Amino acid sequence: MHALGRWLLLVVVAALALQLFFIGRIAWVALVDPQSSAFQRSEAWRLATSGQLRWRQDWRDYEQISDHLKRAVIASEDDDFVNHEGVDWEAIDKAWERNAKAEEAAAQRAAQNRPVRPVKIRGGSTITQQLAKNLLLSGERTLLRKGQELVLTFALEHLLSKRRILEIYLNNVEWGEGVFGAEAASQHYFRKSAAQLSAWEAARLAVMLPRPRYFEQQPRSVYLNSRTRTIVARMRNAELP
């Protein structure tokens, strides 16, 4: 029993130490621009081991990124960004409902021996949740990691301003194979700076975010063009921090 008690104590101490480490990292990026994220480092390793050297990221301050892109990303990824406290529970509920309906429809098609396409699972993650995951965590999908993501999400919301969260997100999010951040994406796809993006160009980049490597290879995607028009129309209602 004494050994078990010591083991449990060590687990608790290790867990608390890990949380303090994460909190320290978040407090640090409140003042210092992060040079990389956990996701970027894992991608760098993947690219290096596959013999690819393609990599680009150029930090730009908040004012150096087009407001069109900020509005487009908010409209596409998290339209209540400035109001929620890190988690949009309503969006999560809607995502669960959509996923359940999609899975039910797929099951019905399978029962009728009709062709079944893979179900696209939709999430309800906010920009802050995405930043917590990409900046500090691994890519594994477990309940423990999801719980850690929520803890870090609330820490980000309390230690950083919405403006800073969006700034770090736009500078670190993946926009293609080895392409990270708004400036790199703008140069890669449109040969211009992130400050010069038009509303249509910004919307197109925003639409790519859920599957950037796929859309990089499918630039003429019907969905990409249709969704871009939708986001352009929604951008005028997007509120900036």
* pLDDT tens string 57-67: 899 999 999 99
* Two tokens, residue 180: 């990270």
Q: Looking at the predicted structure, is the pLDDT value of residue 191 above 60?
A: yes
pLDDT of the residue at 93: 59
* Two tokens, residue 98: 């959509």
Residue 179, H or E segment? strand 179-180
CA distance 173 to 210: 10
* Two tokens, residue 207: 């639409």
In the chain, the domains with their CATH numbers are: 2-88+124-235 (1.10.3810.10)
Q: Which SS3 state, helix, strand or coil, does residue 56 take? A: strand
Rounded mean pLDDT of 28-34? Answer: 92
pLDDT band at 86 (very low <50, low <70, confident <90, very high): confident
pLDDT of the residue at 9: 72
pLDDT in tens, 203-232: 999 999 999 999 999 988 999 999 999 999
- Report the predicted TM-score, pTM, of the whole model to 2 decimal places: 0.84
* Two tokens, residue 151: 């803890």
CA distance 222 to 160: 38
Cα-based torsion angle of the residue sequence 164, 19, 87, 159 in order, rounded to the nearest 10 degrees: -30
The residues with which 174 forms a beta bridge, in sequence order, are: 180
pLDDT of the residue at 114: 61
pLDDT in tens, 112-136: 566 545 444 445 689 999 999 999 8
Rounded mean pLDDT of 231-238? Answer: 96
CA distance 194 to 158: 28
